[in-house]
Amino acid sequence: MNYTKLDIHTAAPLHPEASVLLIYTGGTLGMVYDASGKHLVPFNFEQILHRVPELQQINVMLTVLSLNEPIDSSNISIEHWLELAHIIEEHYDFYDGFVILHGTDTMSYSASALSYLLENLAKPVIFTGAQVPIGKVRNDARVNLISALEIAAKGGAEGKTLVPEVSIYFDNVLLRGNRTKKVESSHFDAFKSGNYPPLVKAGIDLEFAPLHILPKPEKPLKVHQALDNRVAVLKLFPGISEMVVSCLLGSGNLKGLVLETYGSGNAPTDKWFLDLLRNALNRGLLILNVSQCDEGNVNQGLYETSRYLQEMGVIGGADITTEAAITKLMFVLGQNLPAAESKALLRQNLRGEISL
């Protein structure tokens, strides 16, 4: 990804609270109207203080890294995730925090992927965006951007990073990135974390929840540079046909599958279905069982309709989201480990993505 780097002169005097790198990848937040007043186009980040004058009141040394060709989040790929991880690694020692402006549609996938790639992360990496462009009068872009920057900067001057993990800031809450999913397309509360509480609530003051935030690691940052996209998602539904399941599981190059089951991990017990799963597992396919429910937990073996899955070797995903599960599979497969080690990693809580 080619990018332009800009030093933005905020009100930060000789003793700034922190230094923050703002990475603009694309998305609704950075859109303004063109000269005709009819079409939304990406704005020039050299004008960010004109568009968001409140930034001049923040005591932060701010640098903007803007991709020369903004990406619609529907076009995000694993190559973009690996490049974002590389950018953070390249600038890690020079900034106290990072804010990534990103389209909302795939933000939960990107935040989940980055959480796995950035092992031993000791600084905040905050994704944010907007439902309404910054160029419109009534928007959520300004407050999301300003609050994300403030949280990323907190504790920087004292070396006390308050949120050393990958997160998403939206609509007055900071959520663990790999616990989120997008649930709204027409309201400001676009993201939900059904199985994990907020890390920060933004009211008159920023209210941090230290008991819910990952501890700062002792080891140095390790940035992984491999993801394997030979994965798929199979969402079960009443009446699903043998042909559909067979075609998906029969793909010769498939290495990992997220199986979206009912309730606490339940699935059909038809012989053809169980036989197809068993044959795929015997061929070495990794299958991760994830609930279709936004809240709750996969508990394989609780009912007979999930006991068969447990017995044949399907891995229970606990309370992981589909977004975190598919990117976790990509990450684990990218390590190119023996099957037993890969299965063990999938069962582990790597970055706070599951509750054990």
Count of alpha carbons within 13 angstroms of residue 39, beta-carbon side:
5
Buried b (16+ CB within 10 A) or exposed e, 48-59: beebbeebeebe
| Number of other residues whose CB lies within 10 A of the CB of residue 278 | 16
Integer-rounded Cα radius of gyration of the chain: 21
Residue 61, phi then psi, degrees to nearest 5: -80, 110
Residues counted in the chain? 356
Cα–Cα dist 330/333, whole Å: 5
Tokens of 83: 């490049």
User: Are 234 and 248 contacting, i.e. CB atoms less than 8 angstroms apart?
Assistant: yes
Buried b (16+ CB within 10 A) or exposed e, 306-318: bebbbeeebbbbb
Residue with tokens 């994830």, as numbered in its chain: 290
Residue 123, phi then psi, degrees to nearest 5: -135, 155
> Which one, of 151, 105, 157, 103, lies nearest residue 124 by Cα?
151
* Strand 286-291 versus strand 256-261 pairing type: parallel
Q: Catalytic amino acids?
A: 28
Cβ-count burial of 305 within 10 angstroms (0-12 exposed, 13-18 middle, 19+ buried)? middle
| Number of other residues whose CB lies within 10 A of the CB of residue 239 | 5
Cα–Cα dist 313/29, whole Å: 44
Alpha-carbon distances, residue 126 vs 13, 176, 196, 292 (angstroms): 24, 9, 17, 27
